């Protein structure tokens, strides 16, 4: 981008979009697509061929999606972007391989299979009752867990925080919330995390 800011996080609610743009992402190049289909496969595969990797995704209630793909992370030391998605691996190097899945239910079995293959969840989004989950190799994590609940899993989150996990990805349908908590390989500079539940975008709190 011309002003040096790149997208670090995207989200959507009732067909409205929110983007966070950041001068410290560590990316050198970025592309994005707003597609009427949820996670447009052909476009994503084309960008993979150009060595871009999915760094952030969001889905609208109408079925469309915004996919941001980035490349060439610059090592800026330990970094953990919380509350949306991890956008910079803790190792300072870019992902080496990615895979994603769109499912009508939360894809627990697929995630477990990919964990065994060395992948970690790095982005999630929903549209309606459908889930989109992105998993990457070389994500900078040593361990990862999922908290999935029909209510906000406050107790589970605090228990994981006490054991060194940090929230690295979140997504929700109308009846389920999923949070990914990970242990970074490199100790982040700021270990404090806070969660906030509101009925409107929390502009004043942010």
- What does the pLDDT look like over 3-20, one tens digit per residue? 789 999 999 887 789 999
Least Cα distance to 81 among 111, 123, 114 occurs for: 123
Whether residue 25 has pLDDT greater than 50: yes
| Cα(89)–Cα(94) distance, integer angstroms | 7
pTM: 0.85
Confidence of residue 81 (pLDDT cuts 50, 70, 90): very low
Q: Mean pLDDT throughout 53-79?
A: 80
Whether residue 111 has pLDDT greater than 70: yes
Q: Counting Cβ atoms within 10 Å, is residue 148 exposed (0-12), middle (13-18) or buried (19+)?
A: middle
Residue 193's pLDDT is what?
A: 77
Whether residue 60 has pLDDT greater than 70: yes
Residue 76's pLDDT is what?
A: 44
Whether residue 46 has pLDDT greater than 60: yes
- Residue range 140-191, pLDDT digits in tens: 999 999 999 988 888 889 999 999 999 999 999 989 999 999 999 887 666 6
| Cα(179)–Cα(157) distance, integer angstroms | 8
């Amino acid at each position: 981008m011309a002003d040096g800011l790149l997208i670090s996080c995207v989200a959507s609610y009732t067909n409205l979009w929110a983007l966070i743009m950041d001068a410290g992402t560590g990316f050198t190049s970025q592309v994005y697509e707003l597609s009427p289909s949820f996670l447009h496969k052909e476009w994503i595969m084309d960008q993979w061929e150009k060595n871009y990797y999915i760094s952030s995704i969001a889905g609208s209630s109408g079925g469309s999606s915004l996919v941001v793909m980035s490349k060439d992370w610059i090592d800026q030391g330990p970094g953990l972007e919380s509350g949306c998605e991890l956008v910079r691996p803790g190792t300072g190097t870019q992902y080496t391989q990615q895979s994603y899945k769109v499912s009508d239910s939360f894809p627990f079995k697929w995630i477990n299979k990919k964990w065994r293959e060395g992948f970690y969840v790095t982005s999630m989004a929903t549209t309606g009752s459908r889930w989109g989950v992105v998993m990457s190799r070389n994500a900078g994590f040593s361990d990862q867990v999922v908290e999935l609940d029909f209510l906000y899993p406050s107790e589970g989150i605090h228990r994981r925080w006490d054991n060194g996990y940090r929230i690295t990805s979140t997504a929700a349908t109308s009846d389920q919330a999923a949070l990914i908590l990970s242990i970074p390989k490199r100790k982040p500079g700021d270990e404090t995390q806070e969660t906030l539940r509101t009925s409107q975008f929390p502009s004043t709190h942010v």
